[in-house]
A and B are shown apart, each in its own frame.
Chain A
Amino acid sequence: MERYTGKKIYEGIAVGRIAWLGKKEQVVERKHTEDTEAEKKRYEDARNEAIAQLRALYEKTKNEIGEADAEIFDVHAMMLEDDGYNDSVNNIIESQQMNAEYAVAVTGDNFAETFASMDDEYFKARSVDVKDISERVIRILSGESEASVDASEPSILVADDLTPSETVQLDKSKILAFVTRKGSSNSHTAILARTMNIPAIINVDVQESWNGKTGILDSDKGIFIVDPDEATSKEYNDRLEAQNQAKKLLLELKGKPNETKSGQKVMLFANVGNLSDIGSAIQYDAGGIGLFRSEFIYLGKDTYPTEEEQFTIYRKAAELMAGKKVIIRTLDIGADKQCDYFELGHEDNPAMGFRAIRICLKRPEVFKTQLRALFRAAAYGNIHIMYPMITSMSEIEQIKKIVAEVKAELKEQGVPYKDAPQGIMIETPAAAVITDRLAKEVDFFSIGTNDLTQYTLAIDRQNAALEDFCDVHHEAVLRLIEMTVENAHKNGIWAGICGELAADTSLTETFLKMGVDELSVAPPSVLKVRKVVRECD
């Protein structure tokens, strides 16, 4: 029995066979052929199949993870459509009378070498892409299967590193846990593990020789055990059983009120990033949408989304939630979310830069298009509008002026619309401190704890090196939350939390004591928080 340590990415226990995900080096045989036409045809068919696979992978990744991560597959497909590449393959088949596998391998190596020898890191990295597409074609030619994981039974996936492309191709029902050497809590695999509810740890000294052995992941403790002894196996099998029971219990909580033993109620909503997330929100019994991130409508596009495009999406969201609150946050790009066509220019400190409401106020035409779509969609359900990154009273004044113009225009043009409650995100210390005044001007507050923590503690949340300094339960942040809730209630409006802290069940009781009215969390966390709420006094 051997014990290894790592860093928790997603909680949980897993017990099972270890499957090592290694990068398989393909051995290509060099064969002479007389029938070069037939070889060329084989190449053409394999190439088309590879392109079809890549297109499918693009769609799958786009839907499951996001367009930005999907684009690489589109580029891979384009590489396979490149004349230079194809001419080279066909030329080798033809002139050297070689088999297609060999021709592809040589072509891939040649192009990869060209890129690898370039000075720029970015271009150097393209050699991996060329190798990747060549290997895909060779795999198809030789009839090999794609997955290099032998996951005939559900397994603990162990790898040096997992790229998003590898992760999306895995059969999710066969993955018990992820254990990798590389990665960070913000990596794509980490995010994926959280969305899929799969226990995961990183920074483990992984070894290929573990393949096929039994492993135990105790993610909460950051321990990975290989070849456990009998006593350890029993201990963890019992705990796993308990964990499964707990999961079942959670599902039994569906339909139950979010009410403490003494009868205090709280609204439990879901954060969503696109329309398909709304499906999960409904499945996990969320009482509404507490944060609808409208950015997905803008990101990964070549130009601004039109009013109709936005209206259709907001209307759909309102209709899907059938009268339940749908709190839509207006455009929040800038900082770590960039859109080329906004031409925002380079900033040294984008987190404190031109982003979110600041862009909207400086570019009212962009803001107005979104507001028109929102007020129009409000006629189809219970839409609430929420403005991000507020720091001052004057911003509220400016927003109100623009909103008044939008409504007047809609009215004048005879376009049907409905008024909608409007609230703001409290995610800057400045806003939190003046909530006594802000509360008189808006209909609700929603506290964005990620940014509020980052700005209050002056800690960049993308910087993994600062994780030790980042006390997410810092008293300063908790006091700002308490103050925000108090000021909301004094002025007769409600206050919720939509940041990551909302799902932190070690704080649920604290939040309830503060009188927080709403918690908005990722869809799978809704029932987990409900359970804790119902256990509070």
Chain B
Amino acid sequence: MQTFEYKITDEVGLHARPAGLLVKAAKQYKSDIKIEYNGKSSSAKALMAIMAMGIMKDAVVKVSVDGEDEAEAFEGIKKFMEENL
């Protein structure tokens, strides 16, 4: 399992559109990808659950990647978040 922390810079946080993009990105990988924030945790592939976490701008989230393509997924999701969120 690999993990990294990321600070959200998107003005309105992880609401519908950015969360949707994240789900799309996460679904490209076989690995389990989890987002942890404020004591809650959700799969990065579950749109409603991510939105329900209420992740706002400047929130620091922990992302963990676990599975057969985790190295690839780790890089991919990290890059995606840096570019989009």
Q: Mark the stretch among B30-38, B45-53, B69-77 that contacts chain A.
A: B45-53
Cβ of A119 under 8 Å from chain B: yes
Interface string of A109-153 (1 = CB under 8 A from B): 001001100111011001001100000000000000000000000
A111 touches B48 (CB 8 A): yes
A123 touches B46 (CB 8 A): no
Query: Could you say which interface size class chain A belongs to?
Result: 20 to 34
Q: Using Cβ atoms and an 8 Å threshold, which residues of chain B touch A81? A: 47
A126 touches B45 (CB 8 A): no
B47 touches A84 (CB 8 A): yes
Cβ of A71 under 8 Å from chain B: yes
* Shortest Cβ distance from residue B26 to the other chain A in the assembled complex, whole angstroms: 12
Cβ of B60 under 8 Å from chain A: no
B48 touches A82 (CB 8 A): yes
A120 touches B54 (CB 8 A): yes
B47 touches A82 (CB 8 A): yes
B13 touches A79 (CB 8 A): no
Q: How far is the CA of A83 from the CA of B45 in the complex (A)?
A: 8
Q: How far is the CA of A75 from the CA of B46 in the complex (A)?
A: 13
Q: How far is the CA of A82 from the CA of B49 in the complex (A)?
A: 9
Cβ of B1 under 8 Å from chain A: no
B54 touches A118 (CB 8 A): yes
Q: Using Cβ atoms and an 8 Å threshold, which residues of chain A touch B15? A: 122-123, 126
Q: What is the total number of residues of chain B having a CB less than 8 Å from a CB of chain A?
A: 19
Q: Using Cβ atoms and an 8 Å threshold, which residues of chain B touch A122? A: 12-13, 15
The 8 Å CB contact of B52, one of A74, A115, A119, is: A115
Known: A79-B47, A83-B45, A126-B15. A114 touches B20 (CB 8 A): no
A82 touches B46 (CB 8 A): yes
Q: Using Cβ atoms and an 8 Å threshold, which residues of chain A touch B43? A: 83
Q: Using Cβ atoms and an 8 Å threshold, which residues of chain A touch B48? A: 79, 82, 84-85, 111, 130
Q: How far is the CA of A82 from the CA of B47 in the complex (A)?
A: 6
Known: A115-B51, A115-B52, A123-B54. A84 touches B17 (CB 8 A): no
Known: A114-B52, A115-B51, A115-B52. A129 touches B16 (CB 8 A): yes
Q: How far is the CA of A114 from the CA of B47 in the complex (A)?
A: 14
* Shortest Cβ distance from residue A91 to the other chain B in the assembled complex, whole angstroms: 14
B49 touches A75 (CB 8 A): no
Q: Using Cβ atoms and an 8 Å threshold, which residues of chain B touch A302? A: 84
Cβ of B61 under 8 Å from chain A: no
B54 touches A78 (CB 8 A): no
Interface string of B1-28 (1 = CB under 8 A from A): 0000000000011011100100110000
* Shortest Cβ distance from residue A85 to the other chain B in the assembled complex, whole angstroms: 5
The 8 closest A-B pairs by CB, nearest first: A82-B47, A75-B16, A78-B20, A84-B48, A82-B48, A84-B46, A118-B54, A122-B12
**Cross-chain pairs A/B with CB under 8 angstroms, 23 sampled:** A74-B20, A75-B16, A75-B20, A78-B23, A78-B24, A78-B47, A79-B47, A81-B47, A82-B46, A82-B47, A82-B48, A82-B49, A83-B43, A83-B45, A83-B46, A84-B46, A84-B48, A85-B48, A111-B48, A118-B54, A120-B13, A126-B16, A126-B51
B positions within 8 Å CB-CB of A: 12-13, 15-17, 20, 23-24, 43, 45-49, 51-52, 54, 56, 84
